[in-house]
Structure 1
Amino acid sequence: MTIFLILAPFGSFALLMLVTSAEISLFASAGICLAVIGIDVYRGRSIKMLGAGCAVVFAALGAYIALIDPNLSHSVVKLTVDIGVLAISLASLVIRKPFVLQYALEEVDAETAKLPGFKKAIYIITWAWTGAFVLMIAGNVLMIYVPGVPLWSGLVIAFAARNSAAYFTTWYPQYRKTKYGSAPANALPGTH
């Protein structure tokens, strides 16, 4: 359920970009980010860096399109969103608070969070997501700068990158538990 809530704004954005304007897609996705934040607050959970940062990215880009450049292409809008998400991920690593950590701490007990491999697993999974964001950017750049590339190729790259990172997020903690016997089994969203 948690991974669904994390990915809901992005899935909605991708779907809406196929059927409506960038402006509507961005504002709707910002609204979904805010709804997910509201659900977290209602449940007594923390406001997540990724959710809050993405709400800002979606809303700011939507406002830019509404107020300054309504003719921004869909490819450039997608590229800008992916760059914004990559920036959030990299910033979380630079400040030594990987964005995955906030989700993980809400899924595990205090003892698990103190295990030596816990932080390492969090960093590895955050880097996996960062790699996925880079691949999504590459797919968007391909769509913008390589004429004749079919639309579906960019979508396939984004879908494969995002789903691979989501799979890795659920697989890696189980792998560590099997390999080391004490690593966090339910360390991350969607792993239980």
Structure 2
Amino acid sequence: MSMLLAFVPFIVFAVFDRILGVVPALCAAALLSAAFLVRDWLSPGRTVKVLEIGTVLLFGGLAVFALAAHTEWSLLGVRLRVDAGLLVVVLASMLIGQPFTLQYAKEQTPPEVWTQPGFRRINNVITAAWAVAFALMVLADVAMIYMPALPLWVGIAVTVAAIVGAIRFTQWYPQRMRAKLRAAG
């Protein structure tokens, strides 16, 4: 559940973008991301997470750029940048050997589980599933920008399906792997 809370800044951005505009929405998401980062830094038993660092850098960087360059992005243009940035953060977490789900999994499991066969592999697979979901969202954003005849609901449907699919996979896959390991002895 705490991993899903890390995506709240993206929801805040989506809501505020419609109400206040791009720059205030980016700033609000950056501030909320920073608050999550500080909470994890100061809370015993919690660790600062790659996803939260990336989220602060993503929203903060986009906000600073938009303010400095006086850029007016379309909704789809800023959504593409946010989704692509999130994809980069997830892929970078895999490249540095710290799949973003691993840090959340360690907070929810005892240390003896961390060394069990498959624990890291499960997190690599789950993180890869999230990367696929974000890649689908980026592709939907690109399609919506370059094929304006596509109805808006197509992009929304792809986004919802990708996120729901990743959430369900995140819930299902560890249970499946634990059952498979138990059956193997």
TM-score (norm 1): 0.88
* Residues 99 and 123 in structure 2, CA contact (< 8 A), matched pair in contact too: yes
For structure 1, the residue ranges without an aligned partner over 5 or more in a row are 183-192
1:50-73 Cα deviation digits (max 9, x unpaired): 111111110111111112033221
Q: Deviations over 1:114-168 (max 9, x none)?
A: 1111111011001001001101101110110002222222122112211211121
Is the contact between residue 23 and residue 66 of structure 1 (CA under 8 Å) also seen in structure 2? Answer: yes
Kept in 2: contact 1:98–1:123 (CA 8 A): yes
Look up the equivalent residue of 2:100 and give its one-letter code.
Answer: F
* Cross-structure match for 2:154: 153
Q: Is 1:86–1:134's contact at 8 Å kept on the other side of the alignment?
A: yes
How many residue pairs get matched? Answer: 183
Bigger RCO (CA 8 Å, 6+ sep): 1
Q: Does 1:51 align with 2:52?
A: yes
**Aligned-pair identity (%):** 36
Kept in 2: contact 1:5–1:36 (CA 8 A)? no
1:159-178 matches, within 5 Å, as 159-178=160-179
Per-residue CA shift, 1:8-62, capped at 9, x if unaligned?
Answer: 1111122222333111111111111112122222322111111111111101111
Higher helix share: 2
Post-superposition offset of 1:178: 2.0
Task: Please tell me whether the aligned partners of residues 10 and 29 of structure 2 are also in contact (alpha carbons under 8 angstroms).
Answer: yes
Find the aligned partners of 1:30 and 1:158 in 2 and give their Cα distance: 21
Q: Which moved more, 1:160-169 or 1:123-132?
A: 160-169
Match of 1:28 in 2: 28
Corresponding letter in the other structure for 1:18: R
Structure 1 residue 100 displacement after superposition: 1.2
Taking structure 2 as the reference length, what is the TM-score of the superposition? 0.92
Which ranges in structure 2 are unaligned for 5 or more consecutive residues?
none
Q: Distance in 1 between matches of 2:25 and 2:136?
A: 22
Flag as ranges the 4+ runs of structure 1 deviating above 6 A: none
Query: Which residue matches 1:97?
Result: 98
- Written as runs of structure 1 = structure 2, the 5 A alignment for 1:66-81 is 66-81=67-82
- Distance, in Å, in 1 between the alignment partners of 2:154 and 2:97 is 34
One-letter amino acid matched to 2:3: I
Q: Match for residue 107 of structure 2?
A: 106
